[in-house]
Amino acid sequence: MNKNFSFLIFLGLLSGAFICAVIIGILPPGYEIVAIILAAIGLLFDVIAASARFYSYYFVPFIKRKNNVVTLSNEPPFFVTASGNAIIIKEEENTYASVFVKIPVYLSSTEMSDEEKLNFARSFSKMITVNSRYPMKLASQLYYLNKDEYIRRISAKLNEVEDKYDKLKADKTTPDKLLERVEGELAMWHNLFDGVNKSPSQNQMAYAMVSAPGANEEEAVAIAMQRAEEVAAGAGSIFGVTASIATGEEMLTFVEPEYSIPPATISELLKKG
């Protein structure tokens, strides 16, 4: 829809520039100032027409900004296979499958020497050559961990220990050593709860995405899985890690922002910001 809209704008502006040129051509002598103004308007129309034609992704949202609705992408939507190990995109009669390979990296550049950094960079260069027969995306992504379930379990345990401590403290016959032990346990859970909530946790994962076309979904997935297994084997030998196929929500972490930045984490960051 954006393409049609930008094309209509392009034709309208070109028509305006053409009309200005026609009017300039039929103006009688003595109207030089009017001709200059029309020429400037025609030139402005040409510039805007070129912008609408070649930079529609900037121009169209600017025109439609008053509607408070901006189309971020006109690409066809994808869906996840029933097995949860690939995403499928259909364009007209073509079917494409993409599979993601997780490549865990346990090294940090801050802990490497210059020689180790160079060797690590060379490893990534080797990784690129593993898959020279077909396209592959190799990237590293930093994403937030959703700690909601973990926090709920800690909170439940903290409430349980607090109730236990209150009951023991209210009982005058409770031995001092038992009360001190439960008080220490309560302090431990409080510290753990405060530490987990103190700041959002992040995780970094390198991954490779391979895609394959097919006559149907089954064929495309089968070809993409075969390529992904080759990439996983190559990554394992190069980096010395166990590379595996990402599935389910783990796979969507590399595709959908709502999985890489959980809603609860966004709310926490907005409150702190």
pTM listed for this prediction: 0.54
Residues 138 and 214 in one domain: yes
Instruction: Evaluate whether residue 72 is within a structural domain.
Output: no
The answer to whether residue 1 scores a pLDDT higher than 50 is: no
Residues 53 and 129 grouped into a single domain: no
Please say whether the beta carbons of 78 and 87 come within 8 A.
Answer: yes
Q: What span, in angstroms and rounded, lies between the C-alpha atoms of 177 and 68?
A: 65
Does residue 183 form part of some domain? yes
Mean residue pLDDT across the chain: 77
- Which residue, 14, 47, 67, sits at the end of a domain? 67
Assign 109 a pLDDT band (cuts: 50, 70, 90).
Answer: low
Q: How confident is the model at residue 222 (pLDDT cuts 50, 70, 90)?
A: very high
3-state secondary structure 180-206: HHHHHHHHHHHHHHHHHHHCCCEEEEE
- Which structural domain range is residue 87 located in? 78-146+201-272
In a shared domain, residues 53 and 16: yes
User: Would you state the pLDDT for residue 79?
Assistant: 81
Distance between CA atoms of 109 and 92, rounded to whole angstroms? 45
**Last residue of one domain, picked from the residues 198, 214, 237:** 198
Give the total number of structural domains in the chain: 3
Regarding whether 100 and 175 lie in a shared domain, the answer is: no
Query: What pLDDT does residue 3 have?
Result: 53
Task: Examine the domain organization and report whether 216 and 266 are in the same domain.
Answer: yes
| 180, 207: one domain | no
The predicted-structure confidence for 113-171, as pLDDT tens digits, reads as follows 788 778 877 877 787 777 667 888 888 777 777 777 778 888 888 889 899 888 888 88
Sequence-ordered strand ranges (E) for 166-268: 202-214, 244-245
Statement to judge: residues 122 and 162 lie in one domain: no
Cα 160 from Cα 113, distance rounded (Å): 48
pLDDT for position 149: 73
Q: Give, in degrees to the nearest 5, the angle at Cα 240 between 234 and 243.
A: 55
Residue in 199, 193, 191, 200 with CA at minimum distance from that of residue 155 = 193
pLDDT tens digits for range 44-62 = 877 777 766 666 655 556 6
Per-residue pLDDT at 45: 75
- The CA R_g of the chain, rounded to the nearest whole Å, is 31
